[in-house]
Amino acid sequence: MISMRILLTTLNARFSHSSLALRYLRSFCQEKFYDIQMEEYTINDQINYILGEIYLRKAELVAFSCYIWNIDKILEIGSKLKKISPATILVLGGPEVSFEVAELMRLHPYIDYIVFGEGEQTFSELLLNLYQSRSETIVGPGILGLAYRVDGQVVMNSERPLLGDLDQIPSPYLLSDPVELKNHVVYYESSRGCPYNCQYCLSSVQTGVRYFSLERVKADLICLINNGIEHIKFVDRTFNCHRERAREIFRFLLEHIPNKQQISYHFEMGASLIDEATLKLIEIVPPGLFEFEIGVQSTNLETLASVERKADWSLLKPVVQRISKLQNIHIHLDLIAGLPKESYSSFRRSFNDVFSLRPHLLQLGFLKLLKGSGLRKQAASFGCVYSDHPPYEVLSTGVMDYEQLLRLHSIEDLVEKYYNSHRFQNCIELLLFVGAGTPFDFFEFMALFWEDQGLHRRPHSANALFQILGSFVEQNESKFRINSRVFMEVLKFDYLLQSGGVQPSAWFSRSFLNNQKQRTHDFLSSQKNIMKLLPHFQGCSAREINKFVHVEIFELDIVGLTNWLQSNQGLDLGAVSLEARTLPDSILHPSAVLFDNSAREGILHQPNYYRIDL
């Protein structure tokens, strides 16, 4: 074993994230080097704090894993580190430094080495050469995938061929301390590469897909499950590109669901590759165990063709609809604004198409012209103007100007707050049904309201978001053609679905029955009622049960209304006249609703609720 003080480090985007790249490097090198340390920070940490922590490690070599979200801070830290510790060898690697390598090293002379491309073998050879050549001045010749300096001049070696057998890389997790992964999302890959050639993605730079053996994948997953990991995110670019292999991993995970432990798995799926056998298999998946992220990006065929993305909305839509009906898979659909030939009106159509599927999460992203990507090279051809600084986000295109993109950023923020949060799901459905226009028009109108009120300039608590939505509807009652008192009852219902048993805020209007406390006690004392609605409380006293339930009186039949709204989600509202978009008279009578907060179930982890007679 070789003694050399090595520090592997990076700045993750969030504390809950973890770095797969660092763990690969550590596992690949630790057989030869026993003094490899690993430390993860976040982009929210102060630079001087990170610098001090790294300096106190007294490492001979510090290696950073670089991405668009952390490169600027890493360069600043590296510059300062070299000034206070000139002898420390500074190595950079990762996708953000694997392109335009020589220029980066010329601009930042304190960088000693850059590992570009697939890094495990290159980094290992660099460490061995540095150890064996401590008396020499030049280390680097002959190491494929490495950039270094000779007499101040940058030298780039040839690219390193990709590993043919991925099992050569020891598991990044078998020797990990479970404590370092506690409360973190664990990233895992069962393959590298992608069968597609989408020009905005770095996966298109390399052709073909390579797989870890199924035996290796299963051993890794058992290790993570046994260590109590709660959320595992597969980073395979298209997890199901090999359908039978994907089903085998699904079956394995279904056979190894841990007892008394929450766990979920996230997969990036190609919708067109989800075949009948896969659909049959996922019918038996317990709710919340699997999350499917499906990249739609656009439903504009010209746009998709321009970025060489093979996707067919007519095929994708029925697959997502069928999975949605199962109500057991969390569905995450992606859109990208700023793609070639996608105008503001075209993006509006794409948004409405995707929204019509009611995914659990609709991610509205913005095109980033990544170093090495095909679209970055073609930027001028579609009139794209983009930032020179990471993350290289699009500022305008030939068919979408900056002001329109700015409006889409506002819409994205509100989709995140009011749709993806699931705090307002019944309110949003109600407003979409009674209001004029499409889902995009609704969020655009709300964005204008936020801008007019200056609401976009400051943060807001979850409670404040409820108040703002109530005010928004009250001030635009005629547009939505709904009595604001009716809407506030639906808003109160949504509030109680996510409050965890907390009483409605004081600004909600509330109704109470005569002697309501005694009526509730009598209801909960009835074994017939308990067996029908709350069998898990059998044998408990009404007083004990009352700690976990909440009874609210509404001015309308709120359960009937929400059921009616859900049944109308699939309607093409464009074909329904405004006059026909009225609420049924059957819901216009008071009702009592019991919320059971003892256990949150289903994909959205919401309490069960029941209309009751008190």
Strands 330-337 and 591-601: unpaired
> To 10 degrees, what angle do helices 214-226 and 243-255 make?
30
Condensed to tens digits (0 to 9), the pLDDT of residues 338-374 reads: 999 999 999 999 999 999 999 999 999 999 999 999 9
Residues in the chain: 614
Q: Which residues of the chain have pLDDT under 50?
A: none
Number of domains in the chain: 3
Residue pair 202/67 in contact by the 8 Å Cβ criterion: no
Q: Evaluate whether 365 touches 354 at the Cβ level (below 8 Å).
A: no
118, two tokens: 């697939």
CA atoms within 13 A on the CB side of 221: 26
Contact 393, 366 (CB under 8 A): yes
Does residue 244 share a domain with residue 120? no
Kindly state the DSSP code that residue 242 receives in the 8-state scheme. S
Task: Say how far apart CA 49 and CA 373 lie, in whole Å.
Answer: 34
Domain boundary among 400, 424, 452: 400
The residue out of 373, 400, 427 marking a domain boundary is 400
Residue pLDDT, tens place only, 507-519: 999 999 999 999 9
Residue 89: the pLDDT is: 96
Residue 162 is assigned to a structural domain of this protein: no
Which residues sit opposite 65 in a β-bridge? 93
Question: Using one digit for the tens of pLDDT, what is the confidence trace for 291-326?
Answer: 999 999 999 999 999 999 988 899 999 999 999 999
Report the distance separating Cα 497 and Cα 491, nearest Å.
Answer: 10
Q: Indicate whether 466 belongs to any domain.
A: no
Whether residues 210 and 341 share a domain: the answer is yes
Q: pLDDT by residue (tens digit) across 251-291?
A: 999 999 998 788 999 999 999 899 999 999 999 999 999 99
Pair (188, 320) in one structural domain: yes
Q: Which pLDDT score is estimated for 500?
A: 86
Cα–Cα distance measured from residue 149 to residue 327, given in angstroms and rounded to the nearest whole number:
57
* Strands 89-93 and 61-65, sheet pairing: parallel
| Residue showing tokens 């050569």 | 168
Q: What is the pLDDT of residue 577?
A: 60
Q: Cα dist. 216→28, 223, 319, 465, 488 in Å?
A: 15, 11, 31, 47, 54
Task: Indicate whether 536 belongs to any domain.
Answer: yes
Q: Residue 490: inside a domain, yes or no?
A: no
Q: Is 589 among the domain residues? A: yes
The pTM is what? Answer: 0.93
Same domain (yes/no): 361, 273: yes
Backbone phi and psi for residue 90, each to the nearest 5 degrees, phi listed first = -110, 120
| 126, 142 contact by CB (below 8 A) | no
- Please name which of 312, 317, 347 lies closest in space to residue 333, comparing C-alpha atoms: 317
Residue 11 sits in a domain whose CATH number is: 3.40.50.280
Same domain, 93 and 177: no
CA triple 290-238-215, angle to 5 deg:
75
362 falls within a domain: yes
> H helices then E strands: how many in the chain?
23, 20
Strand order in the sheet with 146-150: 36-42, 6-12, 61-65, 89-93, 113-115, 146-150, 153-156
- Structure-block tokens of residue 30: 């630790």
Q: How far is CA 213 from CA 165, 245, 278, 307, in A?
A: 9, 10, 20, 32
Among the candidates 88, 122, 156, a domain finishes at 156
Residue 471 lies in a domain: no
**193 and 321 together in one domain:** yes
Residue 409 belongs to a domain: no
Beta bridge partners of 266: 233, 291
The pLDDT assigned to 570 comes to 60
**What residues make up the domain containing 356?**
172-400
Residues 325, 311: Cα–Cα separation, whole Å: 22
What is the chain's percent helix, strand, coil content, to nearest 5?
45, 20, 40
Closest among 517, 484, 493 to 426, alpha carbons compared: 493
Spell out the residues 6+ positions from residue 14 whose beta carbon is closer than 8 angstroms to its own. 42, 44
Identify whether residues 96 and 231 lie together within a single domain: no
Cα 324 to Cα 56: distance, rounded to the nearest angstrom:
52
pLDDT at 222: 95
pLDDT on residue 491? 97
Nearest to 483 by CA among 555, 566, 591, 429: 555
Residue 287 sits at φ, ψ, to 5 deg, of -55, 130
Please list, residue by residue across 353-372, b when 16 or more beta carbons sit within 10 angstroms of its beta carbon and e when fewer do.
Answer: bbbbbbbbbbbbebbbbbbe
Peptide bond into 391 cis (omega under 30): yes
CB 546 within 8 A of CB 511: no
CA distance readout (Å), 147 to 97, 312, 366, 378, 524? 11, 42, 32, 26, 73
Are the C-beta atoms of 272 and 312 separated by less than 8 Å? yes
Contact 30, 36 (CB under 8 A): yes
